[in-house]
Amino acid sequence: MTGADALAALEARGNPQKAAEMAAYHKAARPYLGVANPELDALTKTWRKDLTLDARLALADGLWRTNVHEARIAAAKLLTQARIRPDDTGAWTLIRGWLPDFDAWAIADHASIAGQKRLAADPSRLETVEAWTASEHIWTRRAALVMTLPWTRTRDAKPRELAERERILGWAAGYVTDPDWFIQKTVGWWLRELSKRDPDRVREFLDTHGAAMKPFARREAMRIMDKV
């Protein structure tokens, strides 16, 4: 499977009308094919099954470089896998290398979901992610929270996991005065997810930092707690 073959498979499933709608919605200046997400899922599932890890990494890299919306999402899906063997540097290095290209939420989130798997597989990578919180690039700052969402989902967290969660909450605390809508939204999102397992910790965070957050971000953080 070459990059050209993969792109041709995507193009064959395109829909010009849907492509135009997607371009208007996402507003990022790049080509859109109009391929539905279930079709991307089916294609990348087949490619993951049929390709070696090295071939998948090469294909993901090639698809990302096309700058085509669906190709970049397919690249991320190729690397969205809980266990990758060997999981040394290849997939994580590639995902990290995509960060400067993030410029819209859909592609950034798909790539960040792939990043979540690599962080969960090796939490020592949080050392790298912490540096992103000081980036001038808003999408890199945002990725630090989106990629660490798995730390909101752990039930009966072990001491190490609790310490890591507190570390990430410290990053979120540093974001509460950031005026960017996407940063504020992501802080609210992270807290909302954590509220499903540890609402008391979210209340504590909001008692300390909530006044500095935008009202919509506070509402997002409390959305689930307000219903119980």
Task: Provide the residue count of the chain.
Answer: 228
* Cα distances (angstroms) measured from residue 194 to each of 11, 115, 211: 39, 19, 19
Residues 133 and 114 in one domain: no
Residues 117 and 7 in one domain: yes
Residues 40 and 130 in one domain: no
pTM given for the model: 0.93
Residue 87's pLDDT is 80
Residues 46 and 90 in one domain: yes
Residue 75's pLDDT is 97
Instruction: Collect the ranges in the chain with pLDDT lower than 50.
Output: none
**C-alpha torsion angle, residues 110, 114, 119, 125 (rounded to 10):** -90
Residues 116 and 127 in one domain: no
The parent domain of residue 110 ranges over 1-121
Residue 4's pLDDT is 87
The neighbour count for residue 90, using CB atoms within 10 Å, is 17
> For position 227, which CATH number holds?
1.25.10.90
What φ, ψ does residue 179 adopt, rounded to 5°? -80, -10
Q: In total, how many domains does the chain have?
A: 2
